[in-house]
Amino acid sequence: MNKKTAVWSGVYFILLAAAAAVYIVVNTDALKAVASSVFAVGGIINLVIALRCKAKGYPASKYLLVVAAIFCLAGDIGLCYNFIAGMALFAVGHIAYIAAFRTINMVGWRTVGTSALLIVGALLWLLLWPAYDFGDLTPAIIIYAVVICCMLGSAIGVALDGAVNKKLRFCIYLGASLFYISDLFLTIRMFAGGGRGYSVACLVTYYLAQYLLTMCVLLSAQSGESRVKPRMNVFKRLFCRAYQAVFYLALPLLPYRQPKPLGGSGEAAELLSSKGKRKALIVTDSTVYKLGLCDNLVSTLRNQGIDCAIYSDTVANPTVSNVTAAADLFRKEGCDCLIAVGGGSAMDCAKAAGALIIKPKKSIYKMRGVLKVFGKLPLFIAVPTTAGTGSETTIAAVITDDKTRDKFTIISFCLAPHYAILDPAMTIGLPPSVTATTGMDALTHAVEAYIGRSTTRMTRRLAVEAVSIIRANLLTAYTDGKNQYARRRMQYAAYCAGLAFTISYVGYVHAVAHSLGGKYNTPHGLANAVILPYVLKRYGVSARKRLAMLSRKSGVSDAMTDDQTAAEQFIAFVEELNAKMNIPAKLRVEEGDIAELSRHADKEANPLYPVPALMDAKHIQAIYNDIKE
C-alpha cells in the first residue's frame, strides 16, 4: 500500500466514523442512509484505486466485495420501511461476501466445519434462550442466521489458509466477526428487550466491520496472490481432509515403534543369542548377496550358534511371488527371526513375508491398504545397504502384482522392524548412481513429511535434520564413495527421514513414483528424484510457506529470505543436486499409459496422504506430462 493509498484509508476511516457517530447520536433514518452510503462509496473508490493501479491479486473478489457493500447499504435503507425486505437485502449482501471469500480460498473442511459449528451454535442460542421472542419472524430469522454463519465460516476458512496474505486474512476475519457480533447485538436489542447500549454496540461494530471489509477490496487486489483452483471436487476434498484429520488427531494414541539402532553384526548376533533365537531367515536380493554383503553377518551369527537360511531372489519392486516364496522358506527351514539385508525392496519383501508368516490363511491381497494386518512379527532386524529408503523405520511394504504390475501398499504398525543395523561399511562400494538416487529418496521423504498437513513437532525436527545432513553430505558420498563419515551421516539422515514420513506420511511424489515402478520397473529412488521438483512446483502457493520454512531451517536459504524466494530456492537446490549427480530431468512415460497410471496414483494417495493441495486422477495426469521424456 503506497503513501497516497494509506492517506486515503485514514481519511475514509475518519469520514465513516464521523458519519456513524452523528447517526448514533441523532438516530434518524436520513442520517442512517448517509452514514451507510459512506462505506458503499468508500468501497467503490477502493475499487477504482485498485483498477487504476492495475493491481491483480484476486480479480473477482474486489468486485464482489463492492457488490456486498452496496447490498448492505440497500439493506440499511430497507430496514427503515420493511424489516423482512431489509433482512433479505442484507442476506444477499452476505451471500456476495461468501462468494468474494470463495474466490480467495476454496471450499474445504475448515470452511464447512466452522460454518456447521456456527450454525448449530446460533440456532441453539436463538431457539433456546428464553428471552427471545421472534413471533412470526422465526423462519426468516433462522434463514438469515444460517446465511451469516456461512459468511463467518467462509471468512474463517480464509483466515486459516496460510497461503493468503496475512493482512487480507486478518481484515476478512475481523470484519466478518464484527458483522456477526453486530447482528447478535441487534437481535438482543430488538427481540430480547435489550437497552440503548445494545443499539450503540450494534452500530459501532457494524460500521467498523464495513470499513474493514471494504478495505479488503484494496488488500485483495494488492496481495500479489492468485487463487489456487480446486483440483478435486468439493465432496471428495472434504472426505479426504476429514479422513486425514481423524488420523492426525489419533497420532498420539497410535502404536508407532521406533526401531532401536544397532552398531553392527556382532551386536545383532549377541542380541539374537540373548533372546534364544536359533535360526534366522535373511531376505536380500541377488546383487547384495553376490557382492558378499551378507557374508560377515552370516559368519558372525554362526559364531554365536545361530544358523541362517537365505532368500536372495528379491527383485527391485518386490512381487507377490517373492513375498510368498520368502514366507514359505521361513516355515520350511524352521526359522524364528527375520533379517532384511539390502535396500527398500528387500525390506518390503521381508515385511510382507512377516505378515504372511503370522497370518498364513490370509491372502496377501487382502492385506493391502491401511491397518489390515494385526499381530506380532517374528523378531525383525533391518540392515540397510543404502542410505535413502528409510524402510528400516517404516510400517509400510510396497508390493507389485506379478501379473498386472500394479503396485499396492500394506500399512500396519506391526510391520516396523524391531532393530536396525546402521553400519556405513554396508554401503561402501555402492555405485555412485545408487548413492545418488537413494540419497534423493531420503530427501523426498523428509520434504514430503515436512510440507504435508499431518506434521508434528518431532517429525518437523527430524525432517529438517535429515535435509540439513543430506545437503552437507550427499555430494561427498556420491563423489567419494569410501568416505565413511559421509556414509554414516547419510544413513542417519535416511533414518531420520524414515521416522518422519512414517508418522507424517508422504505425498504425490511417492504415489506417482510407485505407479512408474509398477508399470516400467523404474527404480524408486530415481523416480522420486526426478518427480520431486515438478510436484513442488505443482503445489505452488499451497506448499510455499512450509517449503520456505524448510528451506530456511535447513540452510538452503538465508533466515531473512521471503517465502516465495525461499521456496523457489529450495526447488532450485533439488534440481541442481540432481544435475550434479547426473540424475536425468525426465523419465519414461508412455502417453497411452498416463490415464491408467494417474488412476493408480490417485487410488494410493487419496484419501490417506495429507498433501498440501489435493488432486484427483485428472489433475495428477499433469505430473506425468511434466516428467515424460
For 482-524, the pLDDT digits (tens) are 999 999 999 999 999 999 999 999 999 999 999 999 899 999 9
Predicted pLDDT of residue 296: 92
The DSSP letter of residue 480 is: -
End-to-end CA gap in the chain: 45
Structure confidence by residue, pLDDT tens digits, 133-169: 898 899 999 999 999 999 999 999 999 887 788 889 9
Query: What average pLDDT does the chain have?
Result: 91
Q: What number is the average pLDDT over the span 164-186? A: 93
Domain topology for 431-629: Dehydroquinate synthase-like, alpha domain (1.20.1090)
Model confidence at 464, in pLDDT bands (50, 70, 90)? very high
Predicted pLDDT of residue 164: 81
Angle (CA) 187-86-41 rounded to 5° is: 110
Q: Which helix (H) or strand (E) holds 282?
A: strand 279-285
Predicted pLDDT of residue 224: 60
Q: Please, what CATH class does the domain formed by 258-427 belong to?
A: alpha beta
Bridge partners (DSSP) listed for residue 314: 285
| Residue that wins the pLDDT comparison between 275 and 222 | 275
Residue 39 pLDDT > 60:
yes
Residues 6+ apart with CB under 8 A from 160: 110
Q: What number is the average pLDDT over the span 220-230? A: 66
Model confidence at 274, in pLDDT bands (50, 70, 90)? very high
Predicted pLDDT of residue 4: 77
Structure confidence by residue, pLDDT tens digits, 62-105: 899 999 999 999 998 998 889 899 999 999 999 999 999 988 87
Calculate the alpha carbon distances from 500 to 193, 443, 464, 487, 532 in Å.
57, 11, 10, 20, 17
Bridge partners (DSSP) listed for residue 340: 283, 382
Model confidence at 53, in pLDDT bands (50, 70, 90)? confident
Predicted pLDDT of residue 54: 67
| 27 Rama class: left (phi>0) / alpha (psi -120 to 50) / beta | left
Determine the residue type at 526: L
The DSSP letter of residue 591 is: G
**What residue spans define the domains of the chain?**
3-227, 258-427, 431-629
Calculate the alpha carbon distances from 402 to 34, 41, 283, 523, 624 in Å.
77, 69, 19, 17, 23
d(CA 236, CA 233): 6
CA atoms within 13 A on the CB side of 110: 14
Angle (CA) 416-327-441 rounded to 5° is: 40
Q: Identify whether the C-beta of residue 223 lies closer than 8 Å to the C-beta of residue 165.
A: yes
Q: What number is the average pLDDT over the span 338-348? A: 94
Q: Identify whether the C-beta of residue 389 lies closer than 8 Å to the C-beta of residue 350.
A: no
Return the closest-CA partner of residue 397 out of 326, 454, 334, 332: 326
Place of cell 480467495: 104
Residue 557 pLDDT > 60:
yes
Residue 226 pLDDT > 80:
no
Please tell me whether residue 100 adopts helix, strand or coil conformation.
Answer: helix
Residue 576 pLDDT > 90:
yes
d(CA 411, CA 602): 17
| 417 Rama class: left (phi>0) / alpha (psi -120 to 50) / beta | beta
Place of cell 423482512: 84
Considering the chain, what percentage of its residues have pLDDT values greater than 90?
A: 69
Calculate the alpha carbon distances from 48 to 41, 53, 261 in Å.
11, 9, 65
Pairing of strands 396-400, 419-421: unpaired
Q: Is the pTM of this model over 0.85?
A: no
The DSSP letter of residue 604 is: H
Predicted pLDDT of residue 430: 83
Please tell me whether residue 218 adopts helix, strand or coil conformation.
Answer: helix
Cell triple for 127:
431457539
| Strand ranges for 552-614 from DSSP E | none
Predicted pLDDT of residue 452: 95
Cell triple for 281:
531367515
Structure confidence by residue, pLDDT tens digits, 350-373: 999 999 999 999 999 999 988 899
Predicted pLDDT of residue 104: 85
Q: Identify whether the C-beta of residue 100 lies closer than 8 Å to the C-beta of residue 68.
A: yes
Cell triple for 396:
509400510
Backbone φ, ψ for residue 386 (5° rounding):
-130, 165
